[in-house]
Structure 1
Amino acid sequence: MGEIVRFVPKTELERARLIREARTIYDSIFPPAAPDRVPQDSEDRVKT
Structure 2
Amino acid sequence: MTGSTKAMALCTIVALVLVSAYSAVLGGNGWLWFSWVVLGLTTLGTLTMSES
**TM-score (norm: length of structure 1):** 0.49
Structure label with greater radius of gyration: 1
Query: Which structure would you say has the larger RCO, counting Cα contacts within 8 Å and 6 or more residues apart?
Result: 2
What TM-score, normalized to structure 2?
A: 0.45
Greater share of residues in helix: 2
